[in-house]
Amino acid sequence: MTEATAPPPLSRPALRGMLDCLNVPALGLGLTMVGFGAMAQDAGIALLPAMGITAFVWGIAGQVALIEIHAGGGGILALFVAVALANLRMLPMSVTGLSAVLGGKKLPFLGRVMLMQTMAISCWTQMMTRSDHVPNPQRLSYYLGFAATLIAAGLIGTLVGHQLGRVVPQAVLTVTIFMTPLYLLLLISGARQWVNRLSVIFGILVGVGFYPVLGDWSVIAAGLLGGTLAFLSAPRLFPNSGDGA
Amino acid sequence: MILGDTEIWIAVAVGALGTFMWRVLGVAVETRVRQDSPLFIWIGCVAYAMVAGLMARVLLMPGGDMAPDSMVWRFTAFLVGLAAWYWRGKSVPTGLAAGVGTYALFVATGTA
C-alpha cells in the first residue's frame, strides 16, 4: 500500500464491505449469474450443481466454458483444460491481491488459499483500486464482507435464473452485461501507478486485437504480451514517476 | 431436478480444480516474491493487462459476437463513458452512468 496517510478506522469494516458491494458489483454479478442460471437450466443441469459451479468455479468465463463443454460431451480433460485456461488470470490476481486483502495480517497457507478461492475480478479490482478508505488492520474484515456479499449475489442470481428462466428481459441483460466490464475498466484505468495504467491500455489492445485469431487464448496473450510491454516501456515513458522496475 | 447426477458433479469438481490450482499457485508464488521486486511488478502488470483484455473483449464482443454493427455501438458507448469519466475528474459513477446510459439508449431504440 502506498497511501500517504492512513485512513481513519471504520466502525464496522465488514458491514462497510457488504454495503460497498451492494452497489454496481453485486447488481452486475447477480444479473450476470441470472443469465448463467438460465443457461445452465437450458443445458439440462440441475439446480444444486448449477449453484455448485457458481460457488466453486467462481468466474463467469470458466463457468460458461464448463457448461458448454459438458453439454457438448467434450470429456473431462477438455473440460479441465478449458476451465483452467479461462481462469489463468487467478494466478497473477492472487499474487497481487493477497497482500491487499491481508493488509499485513498473518494467516496460515491454507487460510490464505481459502481467501483467494473467494477472489473474483470484482473483489480484486475493489481491493486494488477502491479501498483506500480501509485501514490496513481492517482490510481482511472489509474484504470478507465484500466477497461474501458478492458470492451471495452470485448464488441468488444463479437460483433465480435457473428456476425462473429468462425472467429478466433480454434488453436489461444486454445492458447489464455491458455495465460490469465498463465499471471494472474504469476502475482499473484509474490505477495509481502508470505502469499499471499502461498495462490496462496494452491489455485492451492485445486482448481485443488478437481475439478474432486466438479466441479465448487472447486473454493470456493480453496478460503476457500486454503486461510485459507495459513493464518494459513504463520506465522509459515515465522515467520520473518512480513506478517501474 | 435439484440434486443432479454423478456425472455433472464430477464436472463441477474438475472445473473447481481448474480454478483452485491457480489460486494455490498464486499464494505459493506470493510468499516467495518480494513486494518491491521487478518480478512482483511484472506479475502486477500481467494481472492488470489480463483483466483489462478480458473485460474489453466481453464489453465489445460479448459471447464472441463479432458483428461489426453491434461492435461499433458498444465501442461508441464505451468512448462516451470513458470521456465522461475523464472529464469529470475520473469519476466512476459519472463515466458508468454516461456509458451505460448511452448503450441503453442504443438498445432501447433498436440500433444496437
Please check whether residues A72 and A107 belong to one and the same domain: yes
Residues of B whose CB is below 8 A from A88: 22, 50
Establish if A183 belongs to a structural domain. Answer: yes
- Helix, coil or strand: residue A157: helix
Please check whether residues A175 and A239 belong to one and the same domain: no
Q: Are B27 and A116 in contact (CB under 8 A)?
A: yes
Q: How many residues would you count in chain B?
A: 112
The answer to whether residue A156 neighbours chain B at the CB level (below 8 Å) is no
Establish if A5 belongs to a structural domain. Answer: no
> 454496481: which residue's cell?
A24
Q: Give the separation between CA A235 and CA A171, rounded to whole angstroms.
A: 44
From the list A38, A54, A242, A52, the residue with the least C-alpha distance to A150 is A54
CA distances from A165 to A1, A26, A62, A160 (A): 44, 20, 21, 7
Interface predicted TM-score (ipTM) over 0.90: yes
Q: Where are the domains of chain B?
A: 67-112
Hey, what's the cell of A54? 457458481
Which helix (H) or strand (E) segment is B27 a member of?
helix B6-32
CB-based burial label for A8 (10 Å; 0-12, 13-18, 19+):
exposed
CB-based burial label for A74 (10 Å; 0-12, 13-18, 19+):
middle
**pLDDT at position B38 over 60:** yes
Q: What is the pLDDT of residues B16-31, one digit of tens each?
A: 999 999 999 999 999 9
Hey, what's the cell of A178? 455491458
- Closest chain A residue to B90 measured between Cα atoms? A190
Q: Are A94 and B30 in contact (CB under 8 A)?
A: yes
Q: Give the separation between CA A207 and CA A167, rounded to whole angstroms.
A: 32
Q: Which of residues 19-38 of B touch A (CB under 8 A)?
A: 19-27, 29-31, 33, 35, 38
Please check whether residues A46 and A109 belong to one and the same domain: yes
The confidence score (pLDDT) of residue A72 equals: 83
Name the domain boundary from A151, A166, A190.
A190
At B49, the pLDDT band (50, 70, 90 cuts) reads: very high
Q: Which of residues 37-96 of B touch A (CB under 8 A)?
A: 38, 40-62, 64, 66, 74, 77-78, 81-82, 85, 90, 92, 95-96
- Helix, coil or strand: residue A207: helix
Please check whether residues A198 and A242 belong to one and the same domain: yes
Hey, what's the cell of A126? 475493489
Residues of B whose CB is below 8 A from A58: 19
> 481492517: which residue's cell?
A138
Please check whether residues A117 and A212 belong to one and the same domain: no
Please check whether residues A217 and A146 belong to one and the same domain: no
Name the domain boundary from A149, A171, A190.
A190
The confidence score (pLDDT) of residue A242 equals: 56
Tally the domains of chain A.
2
Q: Which of residues 38-97 of A touch B (CB under 8 A)?
A: 45-49, 52-53, 56-59, 61-63, 66, 70, 76, 79-84, 86-97
Hey, what's the cell of A165? 428462466
Please check whether residues A177 and A241 belong to one and the same domain: no
The answer to whether residue A245 neighbours chain B at the CB level (below 8 Å) is yes
The confidence score (pLDDT) of residue A169 equals: 84
Q: Give the separation between CA A82 and CA A76, rounded to whole angstroms.
A: 10
**pLDDT at position B1 over 90:** no
Q: Give the separation between CA A52 and CA A40, rounded to whole angstroms.
A: 11
Establish if A150 belongs to a structural domain. Answer: yes
From the list A204, A149, A209, A187, the residue with the least C-alpha distance to A26 is A149
The confidence score (pLDDT) of residue A95 equals: 95
Which residues does chain A have with pLDDT short of 70?
1-4, 166, 240-245
What rounded mean pLDDT belongs to chain A? 90
Residues of B whose CB is below 8 A from A121: 51, 54-55
Higher-confidence residue: B12 or B112?
A: B12
Shortest Cα distance, chain B CAs vs residue A124, angstroms: 10
Alpha helices per DSSP H over A43-108? 47-57, 60-71, 76-86, 90-102
CB-based burial label for B65 (10 Å; 0-12, 13-18, 19+):
exposed
Q: What does the CA dihedral A229, A235, A239, A243 come to, rounded to 10 degrees? A: 110
Please check whether residues A82 and A200 belong to one and the same domain: no
The confidence score (pLDDT) of residue A1 equals: 46
The confidence score (pLDDT) of residue A145 equals: 97
- A vs B: CB pairs below 8 A: 298
Please check whether residues A68 and A148 belong to one and the same domain: yes
Establish if A44 belongs to a structural domain. Answer: yes
Q: Are B2 and A46 in contact (CB under 8 A)?
A: yes
User: The domain containing residue A119 runs over which residues?
Assistant: 13-190
CB-based burial label for A194 (10 Å; 0-12, 13-18, 19+):
middle
Please check whether residues A71 and A82 belong to one and the same domain: yes
CA distances from A221 to A59, A100, A213, B16, B49 (A): 19, 25, 11, 23, 9
Name the domain boundary from A190, A205, A226.
A190
- A65: Cβ–Cβ under 8 A, 6 or more apart, which residues? A79, A82, A83, A85, A86, A216
The confidence score (pLDDT) of residue B84 equals: 97
Establish if A185 belongs to a structural domain. Answer: yes
Q: What is the pLDDT of residues A144-202, one digit of tens each?
A: 999 999 999 999 999 999 998 767 788 887 888 888 899 999 999 989 899 999 999 99
Please check whether residues A99 and A180 belong to one and the same domain: yes
Q: Give the separation between CA A116 and CA B79, rounded to whole angstroms.
A: 33
Higher-confidence residue: A4 or B82?
A: B82
Please check whether residues A86 and A106 belong to one and the same domain: yes
Is there a contact between B22 and A88 if contact means CB atoms under 8 Å apart? yes
